[in-house]
Amino acid sequence: MTKSSSSSRIPAREGQEYGSAQWRSLGHSLTLRVALLFLFLSFLTRVVLFGLSVGVADASVKSWIAAFFLGFVSDVATLSIALLPVAAFELFLPRRWPRAASVLLGTAFAVIAFTLIFQMASEIIFWLEFGVRFNFIAVDYLVYTHEVIDNIMQSYPVLPLLSGFAVAALALALWWHGSWKKAVHIHGAARTAVLFALMAACAIAWFSWGIDKFSITRNRYTNEIAGNGLYGLFSAYKNNELDYASYYPVLPAAKLHAGLKALAMAPAYQASPAASASVAAPTRPRHLVMITVESLSADYLGIFGNKNGLTPNMDRLSREGLLFTQLYAAGTRTVRGLESLSLSVPPTPGQSIVRRPHNEDLATLGAALNRQGYHSWYIYGGYGYFDNMNYYFSHNGYQVVDRSDVPANEVGFANAWGMSDEYLFNQAEKLLDKEAGKAPQFLMLMTTSNHRPYTYPDGRIDIKSPGGRDGAVKYTDYAIGKFLKDAEKHAWFKDTVFVIVADHCGSSAGKTSLPVYRYHIPAIVYAPGFVKPQEETRMVSQMDIAPTLMGMLGYSADPHFFGKDVLRDKNYEPRALIANYQEVGYLKGDKLVVLAPRHPARVFRVENAASEKEKQTEVAPDTALVNEAITYYQTAAEAFSRGDMKLPAKEATAGIPPRN
């Protein structure tokens, strides 16, 4: 028995050789083969882009050596992250049936190879179009898939190209078919070691590498070639920003400062900043409540011609207070509205500042009022982690209250987006009862009910839930009316300015890229005893609301604000700034200046701007008007990127406890 048992064992030396062979098989692993292909295709892409850039890129040998060396480092950094799922797949792949396992490894390689070849071709095509690596435009293309796919199908022989990529990937997988058989026998310890090594490399790359590392020269083409397209794509998704100077028209510094001075705009960014004083009026309101209403287009209100009776309360308030009849939203999403209302800045290209990195300690309306002794709050009906709202407001002068802070028994009705508006207003009423006697309060409320699925409590209005957009608008109007009626019973009511303003319109679709009527929103200021019934009929930008409210409270606006106090500024020139993700517009009179990536400024004459009959006709560029548009957008983009919008941390968050 003992003899038989010992004879069946592998001799020690033979066992060692067998184990060593398993470790040596690591050279045939799927992870290594993918890494080699990735590095080769990345190098080949860089060579092609180099050839396409001859004559426009930095021609010095030193710069090109640096670009290719830094490019290799960039590829390795990207690879360390991209290979993690491949290494995990290879580690956990069952090996009980070696033949099936080798087929799975080969199939996985073919799929990955096809993807990498497709990415290379896409990068080259993208470069031919924009002269850059993948960036936020590419991210945007992933969002607007319908238009992009149609354009690609009409512009390129897509099916032959995809077929060629598939054949190349399959041929390479078959050529290396012997490796997949050997890869099955790689020692488990070796596969585990590879995964942990990649995790360590991934951590190093994540915390030490960035797009800023590619800036090796002043030549943008050379810097772009040093980058990696896949890294650029995910970095753009993470940072949500388009570099203004790289894609949009710019003015030299002297002309820019002259434009700022001529427009009497944003004194904090002028060459010689103007002094800013804050002197309270003898008689002024004590508290400010801003109700930011989700998706409230102007054409939902009866005061603007709607015949469906959706807004009886807001229509009444607009007659009893101050109504802005030509107010235009900055963008098409909530974060754009919050950015404009809190920061008073133009909507710079890319994602809203609310969602960008390095957006702490900014000169917000809340921070400005805190310096006058106020306590500023941001109160949201949903969970404020959405769209980075909690982080942004809690790091910029506001104390945040969202649905997670509200006891369950105080949320009478909620859907996926948050508690119904009446329960949001109940929280505001409760907070004012508690805090109004201690110090002046500023509450910025963000509603959620006017949003799909358009559900709300039964018995409030004559449209049963879910009532579609009409029902949601009418319910929100009901909740606003109830809140103000209840507020009249409290001592703080007579000392409070209430503002009802939309974040953006209910729809952004139109026949043009920047349909002006899709940015038309209402704003009503209601404060009996302080604000007389009146209409402001001039064109106003959403970023003008913050400085105008500060004026109503008796203070000068923060010098960082780009907006104007339209009621008190005798030199106010009506204009509005509107944007989607890529294109930004400057509306003045009947002219709209449109700035888009890689295109010269275009000017359109706008007819019927307040209706679906709007018509835009391109006209000859007006240099002075174009320069005004550039002055606004270039200054705002540069101010944020340089950190010029920031305040000292103690000023930005004065009196606001940190949020856990």
Angle between helices 61-82 and 84-92 (to 10 degrees): 40
Q: Tell me the mean pLDDT in the region 148-163.
A: 74
Q: What is the pLDDT of residue 13?
A: 45
Tokens 């073919």 correspond to: 110
Contact 598, 526 (CB under 8 A): no
Residue 576: what are its φ and ψ, rounded to 5°? -140, 150
Flag whether pLDDT at 368 surpasses 60: yes
- Which whole-number Å values give the CA distances from 478 to 200, 430, 431, 484, 525, in the listed order? 56, 19, 21, 10, 17
Residue (of 332, 269, 318) closest to 632 by Cα position:
269
3-state DSSP assignment of residue 646: strand
Q: What is the pLDDT of residue 658?
A: 58
SS3 of 64-96: HHHHHHHHHHHHHHHHHHHCHHHHHHHHHCCCC
Query: Which uninterrupted H or E stretch holds 540?
Result: strand 534-541
**Phi/psi-derived region of residue 159, left when phi > 0, alpha when psi is between -120 and 50, beta in every other case:** alpha
Domains identified in the chain and CATH numbers: 19-239 (no CATH), 260-652 (3.40.720.10)
Mean pLDDT, rounded, of the chain: 86
What is the DSSP-derived secondary structure letter of residue 213? G
Residue 624: what are its φ and ψ, rounded to 5°? -65, -40
423: which 2 tokens? 């329960």
534: which 2 tokens? 């009146």
- pLDDT tens digits, residue range 29-45? 899 999 999 999 999 99
Residues facing residue 585 across a β-bridge: 578, 594
Q: What is the pLDDT of residue 349?
A: 87
Residues contacting residue 648 through CB under 8 Å, at least 6 positions apart = 361
Q: Are strands 534-541 and 322-328 parallel, antiparallel or unpaired?
A: parallel
Q: Tell me the mean pLDDT in the region 118-132.
A: 84
Flag whether pLDDT at 184 surpasses 80: yes
Q: What is the pLDDT of residue 148?
A: 58
The whole-angstrom distance between residue 36's C-alpha and the CA centroid of its chain comes to 35
Query: Which stretches of 283-417 are assigned E, i.e. beta strand?
Result: 287-293, 322-328, 375-380, 399-401, 414-415
Residues contacting residue 335 through CB under 8 Å, at least 6 positions apart = 351, 352, 354, 355, 387, 388, 389
Contact 351, 580 (CB under 8 A): no
Q: Are strands 520-526 and 496-502 parallel, antiparallel or unpaired?
A: antiparallel
Tokens 């990207």 correspond to: 78
Q: Tell me the mean pLDDT in the region 615-627.
A: 93
Q: What is the pLDDT of residue 275?
A: 43
Residues contacting residue 437 through CB under 8 Å, at least 6 positions apart = 492
Model-wide pTM > 0.85: no
Flag whether pLDDT at 239 surpasses 60: no
Q: How many angstroms separate the CA atoms of 427 and 423, rounded?
A: 6
What is the DSSP-derived secondary structure letter of residue 492? G
What is the DSSP-derived secondary structure letter of residue 276? -
Residues contacting residue 455 through CB under 8 Å, at least 6 positions apart = 413, 415, 465, 466
550: which 2 tokens? 């500060």
What is the DSSP-derived secondary structure letter of residue 275? P
Flag whether pLDDT at 1 surpasses 60: no
Flag whether pLDDT at 145 surpasses 60: no
Flag whether pLDDT at 511 surpasses 70: no
Q: What is the pLDDT of residue 236?
A: 65
Flag whether pLDDT at 280 surpasses 50: no
